[in-house]
Amino acid sequence: MEYERESRLLAFGIRVGINAAALWLAAEWVRGFEIDGWQSLVAAAAIFALVNAFIKPLADLIGLPVTCLTLGLFHLVINAGMLAFTVWLTGQFEFDLELDGFIAAFLAAMLISFVSTLLSAFIGRPVRWALR
């Protein structure tokens, strides 16, 4: 039981680290998406991990018919919405994140998804396997 809790905490820590790297890269490359300070980056990464774990599956389920009709392209809109929600929620805790419009959210979400997928495959999975 104790090992399982440590394993989940480690998995969450890895996810937060991967999200932090992806968010930082998006803030550097996407005009209209800004993160001010490392505290805001870490808070946004943790909140983004929680949003993706708890709210995104429900949004994916609700948007499933439209996602099927658009051959998966609507999933990118859902990702942009989850990023916008994360920015709003992080702002409620008075951290400094800015997102200027849908295009910035869409481009940042695409980049975050791509970077997160790569980092999860090359870092997250091997680290979890090594610590088993």
Mean pLDDT for each consecutive 10-residue tract of the chain (132 residues)?
Answer: 70 91 97 96 96 95 96 95 97 95 97 94 74 63
Residue 37: give the domain boundaries.
Answer: 2-130
Q: How many angstroms separate the CA atoms of 62 and 75, rounded?
A: 11
* Residue tagged 């610590």 (tokens): 131
Amino acid 116: pLDDT: 94
Amino acid 78: pLDDT: 97
Q: Are 93 and 40 in contact (CB under 8 A)?
A: no
Amino acid 7: pLDDT: 75
**What is the chain's alpha carbon radius of gyration, rounded to the nearest angstrom?**
15
pTM above 0.75, yes or no: yes
Q: How many domains does the chain have?
A: 1
Q: How far is CA 84 from CA 1, 6, 90, 104, in A?
A: 36, 31, 10, 10
Q: How many helices (H) and strands (E) does the chain have?
A: 7, 2
- Please name which of 77, 99, 78, 75 lies closest in space to residue 87, comparing C-alpha atoms: 99
3-state secondary structure 43-94: HHHHHHHHHHHHCHHHHHHHCHHHHHHCCCCHHHHHHHHHHHHHHHHHHHCC
Q: How many angstroms separate the CA atoms of 109 and 105, rounded?
A: 6
- Please name which of 1, 48, 2 lies closest in space to residue 22, comparing C-alpha atoms: 48
CA 42 to chain CA mean position, Å: 12
